[in-house]
Structure 1
Amino acid sequence: MNGMMVSENLSLFVAVARQLSFVEAAKRLGIPTSTVSRRIALLEETLGTRLLQRTSRRVGLTQEGTRLLERAGPLLDQLGEVLDQSVDREEEPAGRLRVTAPVTSGAQRIAPLLFSFAARHPRVDVELTLTNSVVDLVEEGFDLAFRVGPIRDAELVARRLWSIESVFAASPRFVQDTLKGQTQLTREALEKVPAVMTLPRGVWRLRRRDGGVEEVRPTDVRVTVNDPRVAMAAAQEGLGVVSAPREMVDPHGKALVPLTVKGRTLEPRELFAVYPSRRQLSTRARRVLDWVMKHGAGRP
Structure 2
Amino acid sequence: MSDLIRSLRLFVRLSEEGSFSALGRRQNLSHTTISRAIGDLEAHFGIRLFQRTTRRQTLTRDGERLLEHAVAILDQFGLAEADLAGTVAARGLVRVGVTTALGLHYAQRLGALRDRHPGLMVEFLVADWREAAAGGGLDLWLQVGEADAPDGVALGLLPRILVAGPGYVARHGLPRTAGELSGHECLAYGYAARSEPWPIEGQDLRVSGFLRANSSEAVLRAVLGDLGIGLLPRIQVAEDLARGLVVPVLPEAAIPPLPIYVATGFRGMRMPMRARVVMDFLVENFPP
TM-score by length of structure 1 reads 0.60
Q: In the alignment, which residue of structure 1 is the partner of 2:225?
A: 237
- Residue 182 of structure 2: SS of its match in structure 1? helix
Instruction: Name the aligned partner's letter for residue 32 of structure 1.
Output: R
Aligned partner of 1:290 among 268, 280, 285:
280
- Over 3 Å counting, the alpha-carbon distance change for 1:136 and 1:266 in structure 2 is closer
Unaligned regions of 5+ residues in structure 1, if any? 1-29, 37-79
CA RMSD of aligned residues (A): 3.2
1:109-148 maps to which residues of 2 (within 5 A)?
110-133=106-129, 134-135=131-132, 137=134, 140-148=136-144
- Over 3 Å counting, the alpha-carbon distance change for 1:114 and 1:273 in structure 2 is farther
The separation in 2 between residues aligned to 1:176 and 1:123, in whole angstroms, is 52
Give the ranges of 4+ consecutive aligned residues of structure 1 lying more than 6 Å apart after TM superposition.
Answer: none
- Over 3 Å counting, the alpha-carbon distance change for 1:279 and 1:207 in structure 2 is farther
What percent of counterpart residues are identical? 20
1:115-194 maps to which residues of 2 (within 5 A)?
115-133=111-129, 134-135=131-132, 137=134, 140-151=136-147, 153-154=148-149, 157-179=151-173, 182=174, 184-194=175-185
Q: Is the 8 A contact 1:96 1:124 kept in 2?
A: yes
- Residue 185 of structure 1: SS of its match in structure 2? coil
1:182-228, Cα deviation, whole Å (9 max, x unpaired): 4x5312211332111113352344354xxxx432111x321111222
The separation in 2 between residues aligned to 1:112 and 1:278, in whole angstroms, is 32
Aligned partner of 2:191 among 191, 200, 214:
200
The separation in 2 between residues aligned to 1:101 and 1:119, in whole angstroms, is 22
Q: Is the 8 A contact 1:143 1:282 kept in 2?
A: no
1:78-111, Cα deviation, whole Å (9 max, x unpaired): xx9xx98x95884742111111211221122x22
1:275 aligns with 2:264: yes
1:141-168, Cα deviation, whole Å (9 max, x unpaired): 11111222233x34x6321112211111
Unaligned regions of 5+ residues in structure 2, if any? 1-58, 66-71
Aligned partner of 1:228 among 216, 235, 250:
216
The separation in 2 between residues aligned to 1:147 and 1:178, in whole angstroms, is 36
Q: Is the 8 A contact 2:158 2:257 kept in 1?
A: yes
Instruction: Name the aligned partner's letter for residue 213 of structure 2.
Output: V
Q: Which has the higher strand share?
A: 1
89-98 vs 114-123, which moves further: 89-98
